[in-house]
C-alpha cells in the first residue's frame, strides 16, 4: 500500500481540521499553548491538526491570539471542517476532544 505523504495519520491521535484563515491561525496557536506534541499538515483550504489522545482549546487563549474579545468558543464551529475523536467537553470556556474510554 502506498504510504500517504499528505496526512501524518498517527495511531491514537485525535484530529481537528480547520478552514484556513486568521481564526484557524489563532486556534492553532491556542492549541499549541495548551497541548504538547502538536502535528500539523497543510492542505489546500484547510489545516489538519493532530494531538496524541487528547486535545484542549481554551477560549481565552484563542481570544488573546486573535485579538478579538468577542470571539466565543461556539464560534469554533464556523471553521471546524472535520474531527476524529469524541467531543468530551464543549462549554463557553473550553473544547476538549479525546479518545472515548468506555
The residues, ordered by sequence, that sit 6+ positions from 20 with a Cβ below 8 Å of its Cβ are 45, 46, 47
**In the set 22, 40, 43, 68, which binds another protein (CB under 8 A)?**
43
Are 46 and 6 in contact, with CB atoms under 8 Å apart? no
Among 7, 37, 40, 68, binds another protein (CB under 8 A): 7
94 sits near another protein (criterion: CB under 8 A): yes
Q: Specify the residue, 23 or 65, whose C-beta has the smaller distance to another protein.
A: 23
**Part in contact with another protein (CB under 8 A); list of ranges 28-36, 40-48, 62-70:** 40-48
Helices (H), 1-102: 22-34, 59-66
Compose the 52-91 pattern: x for residues touching another protein by CB under 8 A, - for all others: ----x-----------------xx-xxxxxxxxxxxxxxx
**Which alpha helices (DSSP H) does 3-47 contain, by range?**
22-34
Amino acid at each position: 500500500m502506498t504510504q500517504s505523504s499528505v496526512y501524518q495519520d498517527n495511531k491514537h491521535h485525535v484530529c481537528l481540521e480547520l478552514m484556513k484563515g486568521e481564526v484557524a491561525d489563532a486556534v492553532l496557536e491556542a492549541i499549541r499553548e495548551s497541548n504538547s506534541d502538536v502535528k500539523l499538515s497543510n492542505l489546500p483550504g484547510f489545516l489538519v491538526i493532530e494531538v496524541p489522545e487528547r486535545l484542549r482549546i481554551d477560549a481565552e487563549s484563542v481570544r488573546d491570539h486573535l485579538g478579538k474579545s468577542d470571539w466565543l468558543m461556539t464560534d469554533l464551529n464556523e471553521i471546524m471542517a472535520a474531527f476524529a475523536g469524541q467531543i468530551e467537553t464543549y462549554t463557553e470556556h473550553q473544547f476538549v476532544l479525546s479518545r472515548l474510554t468506555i
